[in-house]
Structure 1
Amino acid sequence: MNSAHCLERVQDVLANVPICSVREIQNGWDFFVLEINGEWMFRFPRRKEGRKRLKREAYFLGKVASRLPIPVPRYTILRMETPLPFGGYRKLEGVPLSRMGSRHVPVSAAKEIGRFLSTLHSLPKEEGFPPDHRDPQAWTGSFLELFDRAEKKILTELDPETGKAVTGWCALLSEHLKDASFSLCPVHGDLAADHLLVRNGHLSGVIDWGDARSGDPAHDFAALWKDLGEAFAREVARHYTPETDSAFWERADLYQKIAPLFGLSHAWEQGDEKLWQFSLIKIKSLMERPGRTRLADSQRGLRR
């Protein structure tokens, strides 16, 4: 993406604002980001499908921001015209939780995330999403499509042992998704530690809502599990008020296990060898630490 062209678009909408500093954020798969003056964040979709996601994200956050207990982006600029659509919002203060290290996560974080997810997951599933993002088949279909793509393009590139493990995880999660005994609700969709901001020892913002949609609440816990560990995810659940079904943690375990498949898929499409190797290492580390979800739940009961 041409950063100079992106900056020109920003200058057009900030015509009366002197631009003193520009920071490029290039590491996102779906969006190129410019931080302006340390005060504004501008997101540019990298691909055509990203335009719909940006529009959906801005609309959803505009509908629910005032009801969430933690600040989220509020888009005040949205330019969807071609050829270079983008959206902008005032930067939220805070440091990503991922930079703090597991030993330095604030004591209050689990409680505050639990409260945040309780509110988010209790919103009506119709809130801010078009019909094609509220249908259970849409949620299930997005994963079945990934599994089909993996079978055709990725598994053949893996060694037999790794391929067998990934195939097993996909098969188990497919069973759960086709059963669909869980209720859909609004989910963040990518609740990675990078997207949780902390300031003065408290959660100060939740960012990067491009994957938000009506989905399985266990998926947001899977993201916490993947980045911050099972113990932290279960501690968050102690402060989570919505009811969960009996397979909640098994699905969360499977979601976090198949997460590197997205990296492999993206790496395959982009020819990114570094990302391919990184994602492969993640999968192999998960193979060495088999899930204990069924045993854990049978011994101490669900969630708490």
Structure 2
Amino acid sequence: MTGDIRALLARHLPDYRVRSVRRLGHGLDNFVYEVNDELLVRRSRVSDPEANRQEAARLAAVRELSPLPVPEVVFADDESGAIAYRKLAGTPLNLHQDPHFDPIALAEPLAAFLSAIHGAAPARMRELAPLDVYPAPTLLQDAELDYRDVESHVPAPHRALVERFLGDPPPNGPGPMRFCHNDLGAEHVLVEAGAITGIIDWTDAAITDPAHDFALIYRDLGPEVFEQTVTHYEFEVTDEDRARVLFHARCALIEDLAYGLSTGPRHYAEAALSHLPRTFE
């Protein structure tokens, strides 16, 4: 596969000297490669030229909206489903190791970021991002199926918390739909020296319930950071919104637990188990 990446670079950047290509990792839909410690090339498992074109256009629009750095596209190869970006500074928050780091410092910049992208005109962004309306009852059913696969890995004292959630009715449907990152987990927030240096991976961006973005802040950074983010957020967050945030945070945690224990990196499962008590209490 690294040979394919070298061929793409030769085609689109013929004067660029490639010294090194290494695979950084993969997700459900993509592989990611690092080139010369300065470029990242994301290649889809299944080529979708229209989706590739849409993502490149979406990133250009997001760069105009976002007060935080987002990837700058160097080239897009629609036929192969590849996009190359300039590498942003920083380490993914889920891999960041600093015993003195206080995530509460991220609340205000995250609020400014979410206010900016959620404030984008949906009619404009609808051309660049799909509508994502996944019914809460179906999401709850999916969460229960995932949980039954990994139940034995959940410490016995915490199983009652999860099972009580799975037995409760899902929240009401969302209010106004907005343009969202839609996968704002800690792995997609870059940090350096206690500050956010970038928001990456916009593949799942959609017009959807803003609770999806807040839910992963709640899951990965905790309820205190979530509440502080809401304090600085431009739009009103109602009690019904909070109920949906908590619902999506819990479903997302179960999904990460199942992913980390099956095909994904193990650290997803470890983080899910670590965050389970505060997310389900």
TM-score relative to the length of structure 2: 0.81
2: distance between equivalents of 1:232 and 1:224?
7
2:272 pairs with 1:282: yes
The 5-angstrom pairing of residues 243-282 of structure 1 reads 243-263=236-256, 266=259, 272=263, 275=266, 279=269, 282=272
Say which of 198, 202, 226 aligns to 1:209.
202
1: distance between equivalents of 2:147 and 2:271?
15
Corresponding residue of 1:139? 133
Corresponding residue of 1:96? 92
Quick one: which amino acid aligns to residue 140 of structure 1? Y
Corresponding residue of 2:8? 9
For residue 235 of structure 1, report the CA deviation from its aligned partner: 1.5
For residue 16 of structure 1, report the CA deviation from its aligned partner: 0.8
For structure 2, the residue ranges without an aligned partner over 5 or more in a row are none
Say which of 156, 178, 189 aligns to 2:182.
189
1: distance between equivalents of 2:104 and 2:163?
38
Say which of 63, 66, 69 aligns to 1:65.
63
Q: Identity, % of aligned pairs? A: 26
Quick one: which amino acid aligns to residue 186 of structure 2? A
Say which of 160, 166, 175 aligns to 2:170.
175
Per the alignment, in what secondary structure is the counterpart of residue 204 of structure 1?
strand
Contact kept in structure 2, 1:150 and 1:265, CA below 8 Å: no
2: distance between equivalents of 1:42 and 1:64?
19
RMSD: 3.4
Per the alignment, in what secondary structure is the counterpart of residue 186 of structure 1?
strand
Quick one: which amino acid aligns to residue 76 of structure 2? L
Per the alignment, in what secondary structure is the counterpart of residue 247 of structure 1?
helix
Cα displacement string for residues 171-218 of structure 1 (whole angstroms, at most 9, x for unaligned residues)? 65x732xx3242111111111222222345432211111111111212
For residue 290 of structure 1, report the CA deviation from its aligned partner: 6.3
For residue 96 of structure 1, report the CA deviation from its aligned partner: 2.5
Distance 1:4 1:229, change over 3 A: same
- Number of residue-to-residue matches in the alignment: 277
Distance 1:117 1:8, change over 3 A: same
Per the alignment, in what secondary structure is the counterpart of residue 71 of structure 2?
coil
Contact kept in structure 2, 1:166 and 1:258, CA below 8 Å: no
Distance 1:204 1:77, change over 3 A: same
2: distance between equivalents of 1:226 and 1:77?
34
2: distance between equivalents of 1:121 and 1:38?
32
Contact kept in structure 2, 1:95 and 1:198, CA below 8 Å: yes
For residue 109 of structure 1, report the CA deviation from its aligned partner: 2.4
2:237 pairs with 1:238: no
1: distance between equivalents of 2:248 and 2:99?
21
2: distance between equivalents of 1:97 and 1:85?
27
For structure 1, the residue ranges without an aligned partner over 5 or more in a row are 293-304
